[in-house]
Homo-oligomer: A and B are copies of this chain.
């Protein structure tokens, strides 16, 4: 699983110039073991063609389809600022079996509706909403100084996967997965590559 984002990033980089790639070449480019790469690609896309390998475009589609597969999940957001509301109303999650169910914010006192009609609720409703709707995934878009407090509420409410946009490192129990998204670092990384 951990290698899929690297595969996708590299394949999209070369897509424009490269029609086919072998598992051997991909392993070498990413500094991974060839046996591992062959196994990963075999699992998501079947065997490559002898002497040709995989069509880059088809492999991108296979990897994305693999990520999109599985049961549908409903997801909540804590922090209804601009970023939280952008994610709440973003239409692209449905293709991946994901639905943003609601956003929560301490500054919201009575239920509001977002531009696309999604509920924006007071933070006090977070736990009961997650329990009633069996929510296991949550997004943190509050400032860094409030992120740990929100994270603790997430954990108490049964959230098992956290996508964190606050620039910080969260403390969670071992069974909870945190995935960090630092927008400023991503842009800084692009700057370094230009």
**Residue positions of A touching B, CB distance < 8 A:** 1, 3-6, 8-9, 12-13, 15-17, 31-33, 36, 60, 64, 67-68, 70, 73, 75, 81-83, 85-87, 89-90, 92-93, 95-98, 115, 136-137, 139, 160-161, 163, 167, 169-172, 174, 177-194
Contacts and interface: CB of A to CB of B under 8 A. Distances in A.
A184 B86 contact: no
A31 to B, nearest CB: 5
20 contacts: A1-B192, A8-B185, A16-B170, A60-B169, A70-B191, A82-B115, A83-B90, A90-B183, A92-B182, A92-B183, A93-B183, A96-B185, A98-B187, A136-B194, A137-B187, A137-B194, A160-B194, A161-B191, A177-B190, A179-B186
